[in-house]
Amino acid sequence: MVGFRVCLLDATYKTTKYDIPLFFLVVRANECYLVVGIFFIQVENTASIKEALDIFKAQNPDWNPVSWVTDFSEPEIWAIKGTFPMSRVYLCLFHRKQAWQWWLSKKNNLDVPGDSEQILKLWEEIVESPSEEQFLTAKQNLQSHELLTRNSGALDYFNKQWLSVSESWVKAYEDKENFFSNVTTTNGVESLNKSVKHFFLDILQI
């Protein structure tokens, strides 16, 4: 695993009859995603995930990925940072947008539900900020935008949940030299998850 500079961590959890978190440690090869490690944990917390990553690290002492891609899971993020303090952690773009869409569509989250599409566009514009200066300007404009002032819950959610970790998803903060532009999502691992969910786990008699 020494040569792989970008790694992905993806969990199969709460989608099978087995209530046990199963994690895939994945790298992007030339034409596909490759699982280079798997681990089960009893409890999905930082200590358990870090313990597993520490084992992989001990077996591969020269393995120091430049970047990781993961879902917005604080236990996963803190575990990665604990084992690989020099690595950058990026959030899966697909799941980030999916989380925004889910929150905006949930009943009672918006004072004006009809504003959801426009608010999503405003948030997406911040994602695309090409420089820190433009990001800071976009963030400042967002705070006073009429769509957010009349939907104060959306502004509070975005400030606390997402702007606090902006370096993990805003383009201005991407390490463009080392971060592969085609590895911004864990979706490439979905087919691997399906194999486990619908074949291997189904035939286990435990």
Residue showing tokens 């500079």: 5
Task: State the Cα–Cα distance between residues 9 and 66, nearest whole angstrom.
Answer: 14
Q: What is the pLDDT of residue 63?
A: 87
pLDDT in tens, 69-121: 998 989 999 999 999 999 999 998 888 999 999 999 999 999 999 999 999 99
Tell me the pLDDT of the chain averaged across its residues.
84
Which tokens hold the place of 24? 């895939």
Which CATH fold topology does 6-92+185-203 show? Nucleotidyltransferase; domain 5 (3.30.420)
Q: What is the pLDDT of residue 171?
A: 92
Domains in the chain: boundaries: 6-92+185-203, 96-167
Q: What is the pLDDT of residue 109?
A: 96
Q: What is the pLDDT of residue 31?
A: 72
Residue type, 138: A
The pairing of strands 6-12 and 22-28 is: antiparallel
Q: What is the pLDDT of residue 205?
A: 43
Which tokens hold the place of 135? 């990001």
The pairing of strands 67-70 and 88-91 is: parallel
Hey, what's the torsion of the CAs at 98, 104, 106, 112, to 10 degrees?
A: -170
What would the mean pLDDT of 36-48 be, rounded to a whole number? 91
What would the mean pLDDT of 170-194 be, rounded to a whole number? 62
pLDDT at 5 over 90: no
- Of 11-20, 29-38, 87-96, the one with minimum mean pLDDT is 11-20
Instruction: Point out which residues pair with 70 in neighbouring strands.
Output: 9, 91
| pLDDT above 70: percentage of residues in the chain | 80
pLDDT confidence of 29, banded at 50, 70, 90? confident
pLDDT confidence of 45, banded at 50, 70, 90? very high
